[in-house]
Amino acid sequence: MADSTGHDGAPTPGQDPPANRYGSLPAWRAVDDYFVRSLVAEDEVLAAARESGRSTTMPGAEVTPNQGALLGLIAQLAGARRVLELGTLAGYSTIWLARAVGETGRVVTLELEETNAAIALTNLERAGLADRVDVVRGPAAESARRLVEAGTEPFDLVFIDADKPSNPRYLEAALRLTSPGAVIVIDNVVRDGAVIDADSDDPRVRGVRQVVEDIAGNPELDATAVQTVGVKGWDGFIVARRRSAGSASGA
Ligand code: DHB
Ligand code: MG
């Protein structure tokens, strides 16, 4: 392939810009570029946040502009006033979510790494959104447990995008921190197709497969998963919704 990244996502030392570390085909990137140029207004605040992603502990792992816009739209479609995010990184998706909840809304975002939390805070301040976002430092499972113990007001939308082995625990936390009608989105559930390997000993794959099983076995949840291709390669996300009280078919 002509580009600097193998389809397995293995980076070529010294040659891989962040957007290319995920085994992304040139055509996928060209289509992402087209839609982002045409439909997604990434202003300088978002562009700066994306750029700062290079300095995080996971360069280039930020959602793409069109994925960020989708998160914002999902938050708006759900009428979300309160959003919980697990995995802040540079705060790029946090900005999309914080804009979507509006001035009176609130985003709580959980981040393990101090480096990333500091970068995210700078980005949120630059975006003028720091007053509606709480960046909570520490392991997301512990931070979520503290929110449960504190009797935190339920969230309308939870975006799970932290360490993948812990996805099942994060779903549990999301269920404790939401009410019927809430939406739960989980990032990175395809990972180049690895998700279908039932015998995988990769803890990230196992974390995704377990959360899929947990969702499937939970009669309270309506859910689907959608594959994506683009600048971050071949991946996908789950969208789930807690069934509203009294509805038999997910209405
Ligand atoms: C990884 C994590 C992410 O949340 C993502 O969107 C892409 C990659 C990772 O663990 O490598
Ligand atoms: Mg992700």
* Digit-coded pLDDT (tens) for 24-42: 999 999 999 999 999 997 9
**What pLDDT, on a 0 to 100 scale, did the predictor assign at position 249?**
52
Alpha-carbon distance of 92 to 68, in angstroms, equals 8
Query: Which ligand has the shortest distance to the CA of 24?
Result: 1
**What pLDDT, on a 0 to 100 scale, did the predictor assign at position 19?**
45
Ligand 1 center–CA 15 separation, angstroms: 20
Residue nearest to atom 1 of ligand 1 (CA): 61
Q: Reduce the DSSP state of residue 204 to 3 states and report it.
A: helix
**What pLDDT, on a 0 to 100 scale, did the predictor assign at position 32?**
97
Residue 97 and residue 121 in contact, taking contact as beta carbons nearer than 8 Å = no
Ligand 2 center–CA 63 separation, angstroms: 6
Ligand 2 center–CA 248 separation, angstroms: 32
Instruction: Point out the residues of the chain with pLDDT beneath 70.
Output: 1-20, 246-251
Cβ–ligand 1 distance for 36 under 6 Å, the answer no
Residue nearest to atom 2 of ligand 1 (CA): 61
Cβ–ligand 1 distance for 208 under 6 Å, the answer no
Residue nearest to atom 3 of ligand 1 (CA): 61
Domains assigned to the chain: 20-242 (3.40.50.150)
Cβ–ligand 1 distance for 62 under 6 Å, the answer no
For residue 62, the 8-state DSSP code is S
What backbone phi and psi angles, to 5 degrees, belong to 76? -70, -40
Cβ–ligand 1 distance for 85 under 6 Å, the answer no
**What pLDDT, on a 0 to 100 scale, did the predictor assign at position 10?**
40
* Digit-coded pLDDT (tens) for 150-169: 999 999 999 999 999 999 99
**What pLDDT, on a 0 to 100 scale, did the predictor assign at position 41?**
78
For residue 55, the one-letter residue type is S
- For 244, the token pair is 């509203």
Distances, alpha carbon 126 to alpha carbons 48, 101, 130, 164, in Å: 9, 18, 8, 29
Cβ–ligand 1 distance for 61 under 6 Å, the answer yes
Ligand 2 center–CA 62 separation, angstroms: 6
Query: Which ligand has the shortest distance to the CA of 230?
Result: 1
Residue nearest to atom 11 of ligand 1 (CA): 61
Half-sphere exposure of 143 (CA within 13 A, CB side): 20
Cβ–ligand 1 distance for 187 under 6 Å, the answer yes
The owner of tokens 């995988």 is 200
Supply the angle between the helices 92-101 and 65-77 in degrees, to the nearest 10.
Answer: 30
Strands (E), 123-220: 133-137, 155-160, 178-187
**What pLDDT, on a 0 to 100 scale, did the predictor assign at position 201?**
97
Distances, alpha carbon 139 to alpha carbons 100, 108, 114, 228, in Å: 26, 14, 11, 28
Ligand 2 center–CA 236 separation, angstroms: 9
For residue 11, the one-letter residue type is P
The owner of tokens 């802040």 is 88
Ligand 1 center–CA 69 separation, angstroms: 18
